[in-house]
Amino acid sequence: MLFNKRINIEAKTLLFALILMIFGCEQQQPKEIKLDFALKTHVQLIQEGNTGSARVRLRQYMEAEGESSQPLFLMGLSYHHDKQYAKAVDWFFRAVEANGEVYPHTWHFLGWSHFYLGNIVQSKANFQNHVAWKKDEPDSLFALGLIAMEEGDLPQAESFLRAAIAAAVDDVATQAKAKARLADVLTEDGRWDEAIALYKDAVQQNPDMYEAWHRFSFALQRIGKVDEASRAAQQCELARRRVRPDLYHSTRFPE
């Protein structure tokens, strides 16, 4: 408990410092912009995986109402859901460039789409835009932590990931993955005890993170806790089978 409290206190302090550093003390918090109620059905279709139907309805909506940032955002979101990230980027960019107010979550999903395409510079800029709008958005802070890791800036990665953990008090999934990634950063610095505590917390919050179980096992092995490392390795295998059963389905050719 003391370990977690210390992380939260440090993270909140670091979060404030990061926002001032990146965006400047004059940055004003933009007002909340809610999604138009008329688009509720379209959102639901995307969430249910009926992205084709959502796109048909969105085109009909825009033919009747004209193009604007929110339906354009949802077109991008439908392609993002289908992991067609290049198409998602095109629609998200149109949403940002549309007349009227930008729907702020566009920056978040545009950031992830660029990230998955390997466009780190563009990804970083969009996540920064999203955090400028909402400074304690945990998944965008987590993404900025990942990008800092990609850039080899481990101190900044640690700062962003601690901030993500503090911000994700009501988001267990994001908190778990941020703890696991922060533990990865700490292992690079040889801070094995801190890393192990974070790995333990992470896999307790989300036991399906088999990669975190694997790195947890390695960290335990590294400090000589062989039995615990073996148990973590077993949990890694169980989690992998739960999450990726496709890896264990053999294909047999007809004889």
What is the Cα–Cα distance from 173 to 186, expressed in whole angstroms? 20
Distance CA 111, CA 29 (A): 20
Ramachandran category for residue 137: left, alpha or beta (phi over 0 → left; psi -120 to 50 → alpha): beta
182/191 Cα distance (integer angstroms): 11
User: How does pLDDT run along the chain (255 residues), one tens digit per residue?
Assistant: 434 444 444 444 444 444 434 444 334 444 567 788 999 999 999 999 999 999 999 999 999 999 999 999 999 999 999 999 999 999 999 999 987 788 999 999 999 999 999 999 999 999 999 999 989 999 999 999 999 999 999 999 999 999 999 999 999 999 999 999 999 999 999 999 999 999 999 999 999 999 999 999 999 999 999 999 999 999 999 999 999 888 775 444 443
What are the φ and ψ backbone dihedral angles of 165, each rounded to 5 degrees? -60, -45
Q: Which domain holds residue 224?
A: 179-244
Residue 81 lies in a domain: no
In-domain check, residue 90: no
DSSP-H helix ranges across the chain:
2-23, 40-47, 51-65, 69-81, 85-97, 105-116, 120-133, 138-150, 154-167, 172-188, 192-205, 210-222, 226-243
In a domain? residue 138:
no
Within-domain flag for 17: no
The tally of domains found in the chain comes to: 1
Q: Residues 183, 199: contact at Cβ < 8 Å?
A: yes
Is 116 inside a domain boundary? no
* Residue 204 located in a structural domain: yes
- Asked whether residue 47 is assigned to any structural domain, the reply reads no
Count of residues for the chain?
Answer: 255
| Residue recorded with tokens 């509720």 | 40
- Of the candidates 171, 19, 21, the residue with the CA atom closest to the CA atom of residue 179: 171
**pTM score, two decimals?**
0.82
**Residue 148 domain-assigned?**
no
Provide the CATH number for the domain around residue 192: 1.25.40.10
Radius of gyration (C-alpha) of the chain in whole angstroms: 21
